[in-house]
Amino acid sequence: MGERSTVLVIGTGFSGLCTAIRLKQEGVEDFVILERAADVGGTWRDNNYPGCACDVQSHLYSFSFEKNPDWSRQFATQPEIWAYLRGCAEKYNILPHVRFNANVVNARFDEASATWVVRTEDGREFKSQLLVSGAGASAIEFVPQIASKVATLDYFQRTPPWAMPKPDWVRTAIREVKPDGVVTTDGKTRKADVWQGQGGPEAYLGLAVSGFPNLFFLMGPNTGLGHSSMVYMIESQVNYVIDAVRTMKAQGLAVVDVRPEVQAQFVKKTQKRLAATVWGSGCKSWYINESGKNTTLWPGFTFRYRAATNRFTPGDYVLKAK
């Protein structure tokens, strides 16, 4: 049968917690958060190497609605940031919504009921109208480059880009990619309708992928920064998701699916702007993928991204009423 909610969130890092807090502030209590670990904190829980700290000033690298005058240094260290996030989860009463040790391995959109059906590694099932992935930058690994009408996602994660590997991160690796799916090292074949192509992941505003209705990614493709706080970007994305929730409720919408041409136009414009930056000048960096495309960075000012995500625009989406 599975647990049902209006919104299902994956992850309890800055992204997942921000979504949860903002949902509560919006009066939405009917949400569940799935977290594969046994505690909240995301990257700041998983990284504890000596000297681990943020490289953006802490007053900027914290939630705008939860300022912390007590940062002990300008660039806080990992224990302090992790404690801040745990404190937020407690203060805003998020913990009752979290299902820990819930490693999401599959998400399928059931068109008939306009519901996401999400499975965890231990066989639990969760159903929800809206799915928000705050699974970290690794989420971009499974954002498909092409649209599909059959939305099913298997979560094959590489080692998270920022994280130091831990011994307990040994997972099923991919042995072979076939036209209709992937074979993992445990010998299982997993059918895949869509496989991320060579060009790399794409999403409208780094948030929505055509063919994957009612799904939003936080920290998706081309929303990364090399110069400022990701928390500012995450809050912008969550603003957009909250406005989508608001709009769907107000207009009685069951399904929102970004129009392919809107996504294509956004991607084209973003890539054009990136080509004019230092990252597009031919130098090599981990922002650029094997095919030479920058699928990582936002090409401009953070306030421009804030403006672009200020409102959910129904006209950009194919809509289905309830």
Helix, strand, coil percentages (3-state) for the chain, rounded to 5, are 30, 25, 50
Phi, psi of 219 (to 5 degrees): 60, 40
- CB nearer to ligand FAD: give 88 or 102: 102
Site string for ligand FAD, 150-189 (x = CB under 6 A): -----x----x-xx--------------------------
The reply on whether position 219 binds ligand FAD by CB under 6 A is yes
Contact pick of 42, 211, 280, 299 for ligand FAD (by CB under 6 A): 42
Contact pick of 5, 15, 222, 309 for ligand FAD (by CB under 6 A): 15
Partnered with residue 132 across adjacent β-strands are: 9, 216
The reply on whether position 35 binds ligand FAD by CB under 6 A is yes
Kindly state the smallest distance separating residue 10's Cβ from ligand FAD, in Å.
5
- Select the span of 14-22, 64-72, 167-175, 180-188 touching ligand FAD (CB under 6 A): 14-22
Quickly count: other Cβ atoms within 10 Å of residue 306's Cβ.
16
- CB nearer to ligand FAD: give 137 or 262: 137
| Cα–Cα distance, 55 to 173 (Å, whole number) | 32
The reply on whether position 214 binds ligand FAD by CB under 6 A is no
Q: Which residues contact 110 (CB under 8 A, 6 or more apart)?
A: 116, 117
Question: Pairing state of beta strands 98-99 and 31-34?
Answer: parallel
The reply on whether position 58 binds ligand FAD by CB under 6 A is no
- CB nearer to ligand FAD: give 186 or 198: 186
Kindly state the smallest distance separating residue 73's Cβ from ligand FAD, in Å.
13
The reply on whether position 126 binds ligand FAD by CB under 6 A is no
Q: Which residues contact 34 (CB under 8 A, 6 or more apart)?
A: 8, 9, 10, 11, 98, 99, 102, 104, 118, 120, 126
Please return the burial class of 152, using the count of CB atoms within 10 Å of its CB with bins 0-12, 13-18 and 19+: middle
